[in-house]
Chain A
Amino acid sequence: MTAPVLADALGPRGRRTARIVSVVTAAAVAAAVTLAFHRLRDNGQLDADLYRPFTQWAAIRFYLVGLLNTLKVAAVAMVLAMAIGVLLALLRLTRSLVLRVVATIYVEFFRGLPLYLLIIFSAFALPNYGIDLSLMTALILGLTVYNSSILGEVFRAGILSLDRGQTEASYALGLGYWQTMLLVLVPQAARRMLPTIVSQLVTLLKDTSLGVVIAYEELLRRSQIAAEFFGNTLQSVAFAAVLYIIVNYSLGRLAQRLEVRQRRRLGAGAINVAGAGEDLAIVAAQGEAGRADR
């Protein structure tokens, strides 16, 4: 029989308390659900009309194409952000002060701004400077710029967490800075940072929903359009929410599994919270870097 560590197996009194709390909690949850159910019904939210659209394949397809758009935007933005992120990390580690400063300014600037602001700027302000982007491109641009600065930090921390010996050996073999980075360090850093990167992908997927403010037809906007047409705001957005949960939860589990595998290889890992505020990704990365120093 396995013994828990934080506390002894509960004795009779403990078990009784636990049982009382269980019953109370279960009762409270049941009561809340029933209450919500009745209130919803009284307000007409359980009427069949509001749910009928979901019985039609054409309507479901409408949402699914929205999901497809979401995934498309996320995929492109992620790839671009990773590429730029690697570049930024490398720039921040060069010997040249100018390059370091430029990269640092980029990172600190875009990391500190809300994504909402970046996106409406790309879509509505840029055209006034002559830069005309489609809605999809504007959304991708905002997401890329923001996430590239996050991933830049992630890669930088990943590179710093590698053994110095790798760098020294590369230089000893006559490889230059960029060669060392691209051929030796970045691939290793990327592997190490994989759970964090997947985590960041979850955040990015959620952030594509900001396309709703520029009326780009990703999933959330489509659910709004459908809600307008069928008159079922709650049901429509709830359906979209379910789709988001399925996708994000699966990715989150993937990140978790990757992290567990990393931990087994490298020892206790950093705090990795899938889908969290983006900066948690950086913290996770820095945690890796810090751990490697000890």
Chain B
Amino acid sequence: MDVVLDNLDEFLGGMQGTVVLTLVSFACAFVLGVVVAGFRVSPVSPLRFVGAAYVNVVRNIPLPAIFILFYFGLPNVGIGYSRFTASIIILAGYTGTFVAEAVRAGVNSVARGQAEAARSLGMTFPQTMRTVIVPQALRTVVQPIGSVFIALIKNSAVATVISVPNLTKSVERVVTDTAEFTPVYLGAAIAYLLLTLPSEQAVGWIERKVAIRR
């Protein structure tokens, strides 16, 4: 236990890293995912192609590989992001694909009759999407996107590969320096559970709140 207290700055720094990475990446991923989902259902075929290519390529590559490719590839394309910024972009880009797929499936899950009714009332495509389809789709999509959020909390650990501060990196450091395994790993496990378990509860709560009672 002393180990944890002695290295408290390291752990708090790591915790902060994990939380910030998760929250910021998720916000970006959400926006990105909705936009890409829009691309994939749009009538403009280059947009559909871009969306499909992006989703099918990124979600089939393991996250550590994406980290290495993107971060070490950047200087060669003339962009010099910091490790932290690059992590945000990578995590957002990766998670965004799953958000996009979830949203797309959510849109698909809305009964056809809704769209038909909206069309027959003379609504245009953007109006239909905005007022009829998307609100209903979002309700279906709360659980999957919540799961994606929780997965992101755990995926933030992969940022250790490019040495970005997060809880797992702090664990590695402290264990290497002190060789005290049990308290450090246990502490880290509890810390992660403190993030993931309440998130699960929160997602369930949100889902119940927006559920459509028929």
Contact = CB atoms under 8 A, between A and B. Distances in A.
B152 A277 contact: yes
Contact of A7 (B64, B73, B101, B128): B128
Contact of B77 (A25, A40, A208): A40
Nearest to A27: B46
Given A117-B189, A128-B181, A283-B144, A29 B157 contact: no
A137 interface: no
Nearest to A45: B76
Nearest to B195: A112
A273 B98 CA distance: 7
A83 interface: no
A114 B43 contact: no
Give the bracket for the number of chain A residues in contact with chain B.
35 or more
Contact of A273 (B56, B101, B116, B171): B101
Nearest to A250: B60
Contact of A280 (B61, B151, B161, B195): B151
B60 A276 contact: no
Interface in B127-172: 128-129, 133, 140-141, 143-144, 147-148, 150-158, 160-161, 168, 171-172
A258 interface: no
Which secondary structure dominates where chain A touches chain B? helix
A25 B47 contact: yes
Contacts of A171: none
A38 B80 CA distance: 16
A115 B61 CA distance: 17
Contacts of B205: none
Give the bracket for the number of chain B residues in contact with chain A.
35 or more
A125 interface: yes
Which of B64, B153, B168, B182 has its CB near the most chain A CB atoms (within 10 A)?
B64
A82 interface: no
B198 to A, nearest CB: 10
A7 B119 contact: yes
A277 B125 contact: no
B29 to A, nearest CB: 11
8 contacts: A22-B45, A39-B78, A40-B77, A43-B77, A112-B192, A224-B68, A273-B144, A279-B147
Interface of A: 4-8, 10, 14, 18, 21-22, 25-26, 29, 36, 39-40, 43, 45, 108-109, 111-117, 120-121, 124-125, 128, 202, 206-210, 212-213, 220, 224, 233-234, 237-238, 240-241, 244-245, 248-249, 252, 268, 271-280, 282-283, 286-287
